Every structure is written in structure tokens, then in C-alpha cells.
Amino acid sequence: MSRASIKLLSKEIKNSGSFLLFLLLSFLLFPSFCLSQDIYSLITSKVPQGGFVGVYFADADNGSTLVHYNEHNLFIPASLTKLFSTLVAWEVLGPEFRYTTTVYVPRGNISPRIRGDIVIKGNGDPSMSVEILSENFKKFIIEGVKEIEGDIVIDNSFFSNERWGIGWEWDYKNPSIDALVLKENPNTFNPYDINAVALNFGFNVRKILNDYGIKVYGTVKIGKLRNDYREFIVIKSAPLKNLISVANKYSSNSYAEQILRTVGLRVYGLGSIYNSLKVMNDFYKKLFGEYYPFKLNDASGLSTYNLATPYMVAQTLVYAYKNHGGLNGFISTLARSGTEGTMQGRLGDITLYAKTGTLQKVSNIAGIMITKTGRKVAFAIMVNNFVIPTYVVMQYQDEIIRFVWNNY
């Protein structure tokens, strides 16, 4: 309908005094206005007991705000933090980046005996496993190695010795961050042994070699690569986009933390807490402004010191959607509703890519959905400080999402 037609109709309605007809016409011409009012009633009438709620929905293509409620208030994001950390990694490292784990041996002949140590150096591959090591270590057999006179040296110097994040609760399952880890490692929180994970990596290497019939005379220790050593085995990981998918679809704390440390390593030469957080926080200050309120203290969302707004979360997704491949790029690393990861069995009748965030008294969800009419909508619903069961809060969130899906 043209603007002239609308103007003419409005004039006729006014002249006839048909106010009810005018309201009906307004509903037909401006459905988003009515959507906002109706959903506001839904949000406020069903706020979880004792809880704080923040909601923001925006059209991902044209950027228009659809729903806003406490959208600039600060909430604990929990695992929504992974959206921030993994997007920075996508920007800095690139989706095709691959981790490298390298085994070094002394220069010269190594068959049948390596006269010295073997050194293993890595830059934080979160996907390394005993199976991958075993397959690649067959090269020792092929090269005729039967004995290793020296030690198995683990060089984890690419990362600082800060193994745990700022603000992590002692009774949560927390990943120990290191330049050399095995994904089978159980999550630990043992501040008295900062090299436990790296040494465990070395013990597994020794076991693999022993299983292949190779005798190791030395011990497992932490050390550094020397100049008189050469590359022997180079192990490449899957592309970063695959690893980010694990972090986001299955909410892997270990993958998220390892990946952000690698960002700090790339930008500043050392994977430390300070370097990694500086890259991440600087990126979002540039995106949202120097004085926009937020606080990011880790990569995984385990920290209860993290603070973010629903607006920031949703607009981060809009940025990723517009700048990194639409639904087929970064957004595809989020869990597909009903079928994948943390969205298994949830909202399966809606096309939705989402990340959840859950801690004690915290339940959040954010993502991009395709509505019933084919529109793409970015959203964030954050609920903190509630006393009712989490599943009830999730039902509340799903009702809001489903309403927008049906009506926009």
C-alpha cells in the first residue's frame, strides 16, 4: 500500500469517526508495534520469582529493534561468554587456523637409539588426544627407533603458568589451561600443581612409546626446546572453525579457554590471562564504545565476575552474522535447535542457532532464528538471581522466543 493511500485512508477514517477501524488498520500496517506491546506483557507477567530479566530482539538484516526490556542492564552471562571469546578468535586467528604440536629429536642419526631427549612443544591444541598421538608416533617405529636415552621433555612455554581463570568457583569443574593438554583429561582444580596437565601429557607419550616397544631410559619433565634439535613429527589440528563448533555447540570450557589463550599468544607472543583478555576486551570496546558497560574475565563463562548486557550479546551475533558468512559462517558454530549439543530436544520445531549459558541462579539463551515468515532475528534473553528450578526459566525463555517466531 502506498503512502498516499495510507494518508487518504487515515483521513477517511478520521472523518467517519471509525476509531476502532483505525486501530485495526494500524495493526495490519504496523504489526511490529503490536508485537512489542504484546511481548512486553508476556515478559513482565511471567518474570521468574525473584529473578532479574533482560531481553533484546533485533532484525539481523536491517538492524531494527523488535523487543527491548532491560537490554542495557548488566547480567552474568555464564557460557554466553563463549560467543565473545570465540568470535574474537575467529577474527584474529581465522576460521582455517590449525594448531601445531611438534615433536623434536636431536640432529643426526636416531636409529636404533636416540642419544638425548625428545621434546614436545605445542601452542594449545584443545583437541589433542591419545589416539592422535598414537597414530603419529608410529613414525618412531618406521624410523627404526628402539631406545631413547634421555627424557621426554614437555615444552609448554607458549602459555603462561596461569592454569585457572579469574573468578572461578572452587567447587565447579574447571579446565586446567596449558599449551599441551589432552582432551581426555578430567577437569581439575588443583592450585598446588601447575604442571599436572602437561606432565600427564608426557606420561601418556611415554606409555605410547612403551606400548610400541620403545624403551625410554629417562623421565618426564618440563623444559624448553634447544637449538640443536630438529623437527621430527608435526601434528596439525582440524581447522579452528571445527574447534569453535565444539566450544559453542557443546559448551566446552576447555576448548574456549585454550582458544582464547592462543589469541593472546598470536597477538602478544605469550598466551597469558592478561594478553588474552586484553585482546578480547579491546575488540568489544571498539565494537560498542570505550564506555559501554561490560566486564569479561575469562573465555568460558565460568567466572562469576563476567558482566554483559542482552543488547551487547545480541548485537555481537548481528555483527558475526553480517561480517562472517551469515548463517553459514560463525553462526553455524552455534547449536542447532532440537538436534545439537546444548539445544538437544529444545525448540526443535524452530530453525534456530543458539548458545545457552547456565550457572547457579543463571539461565541465558542467545542466538539467531528464522521466523515463521522467513525473517532472521538475533536475540538474547538473560535471567539471573532466580530461586525457581532452571527448567521453569527455560520454558519462560522458550515462550518468548516462540512468540516472536510466530508473530514477526
Q: What is the pLDDT of residue 12?
A: 41
Find out whether 104 and 232 touch, Cβ atoms under 8 Å. yes
Q: What is the CATH number of the domain that holds 328?
A: 3.40.710.10
- Residues 263 and 367 grouped into a single domain: yes
Closest by CA position to 250, among listed 336, 378, 368, 364: 336
Q: What is the CATH number of the domain that holds 200?
A: 3.50.80.20
* Distance in angstroms (rounded) separating the CA atoms of residues 378 and 314: 6
Kindly indicate the confidence band of residue 327, based on its pLDDT and cuts at 50, 70 and 90.
very high
Is position 5 within any domain?
no
Closest by CA position to 284, among listed 307, 301, 303: 307
Least confident segment among 12-21, 168-177, 217-226, 394-403: 12-21
- Residues 273 and 386 grouped into a single domain: yes
pLDDT at residue 220 is higher than 70: yes
pLDDT at residue 189 is higher than 70: no
For 223, phi then psi, to 5°, come to -165, -165
Domain edge (last residue) among 186, 205, 237: 237
For residue 180, what is its C-alpha cell? 599441551
Mean pLDDT of 50-68: 96
Q: Which domain holds residue 387?
A: 31-94+243-407
- Residues 54 and 105 grouped into a single domain: no
pLDDT at residue 397 is higher than 80: yes
* Distance in angstroms (rounded) separating the CA atoms of residues 299 and 175: 11
- Residues 268 and 349 grouped into a single domain: yes
- Sheet with strand 147-148: strands edge to edge: 113-114, 147-148, 215-216
Find out whether 327 and 91 touch, Cβ atoms under 8 Å. no
Kindly indicate the confidence band of residue 173, based on its pLDDT and cuts at 50, 70 and 90.
low
Rounded to 5°, angle at Cα 85 from 79 and 91: 145
Q: Helices marked H in 212-344 — which ranges?
A: 240-249, 253-268, 273-288, 310-323
In this structure, which amino acid lies at residue 229? Y
Q: What is the pLDDT of residue 50?
A: 87
- Residues 309 and 369 grouped into a single domain: yes
Provide the CB-side half-sphere exposure for 73 (13 A, CA).
13
- Residues 179 and 47 grouped into a single domain: no
- Residues 125 and 264 grouped into a single domain: no
% of the chain residues with pLDDT over 90:
83
pLDDT at residue 18 is higher than 70: no
For 113-170, what is each residue's pLDDT tens digit? Answer: 999 999 999 999 999 999 999 999 999 999 999 999 999 999 999 999 888 877 787 6
- Residues 261 and 299 grouped into a single domain: yes
Q: What is the pLDDT of residue 294?
A: 97
pLDDT at residue 186 is higher than 90: no
Domain count of the chain?
2
Give the relative orientation of helices 390-407 and 31-45 as an angle to the nearest 10 degrees: 170
Kindly indicate the confidence band of residue 171, based on its pLDDT and cuts at 50, 70 and 90.
low
Helix (H, G, I), strand (E, B) or coil at 221: strand
Is position 84 within any domain?
yes
- Residues 69 and 106 grouped into a single domain: no
What are the CA-CA distances from residue 154 to residues 199, 211, 377 (Å)? 7, 20, 47
What are the CA-CA distances from residue 272 to residues 96, 137, 158 (Å)? 23, 30, 9
Q: What is the pLDDT of residue 192?
A: 56
- Residues 180 and 250 grouped into a single domain: no
pLDDT at residue 25 is higher than 80: no
pLDDT at residue 20 is higher than 80: no
Is position 24 within any domain?
no
Q: What is the pLDDT of residue 170?
A: 66
Is position 26 within any domain?
no
Helix (H, G, I), strand (E, B) or coil at 83: helix
Is position 13 within any domain?
no
- Residues 161 and 175 grouped into a single domain: yes
Domain edge (last residue) among 187, 219, 237: 237
Find out whether 303 and 165 touch, Cβ atoms under 8 Å. yes
Average pLDDT across the chain, whole number: 90
Is position 23 within any domain?
no
What Rg value do the Cα atoms of the chain yield, rounded? 26
Domain edge (last residue) among 191, 207, 237: 237
- Residues 142 and 209 grouped into a single domain: yes
Chain length of the chain: 408
Is position 218 within any domain?
yes
What are the CA-CA distances from residue 33 to residues 65, 187, 206 (Å)? 11, 48, 66
Mean pLDDT of 367-384: 98
Tell which phi-psi region holds residue 83, choosing left (phi > 0), alpha (psi between -120 and 50) or beta.
alpha
Is position 149 within any domain?
yes
* Distance in angstroms (rounded) separating the CA atoms of residues 402 and 405: 5
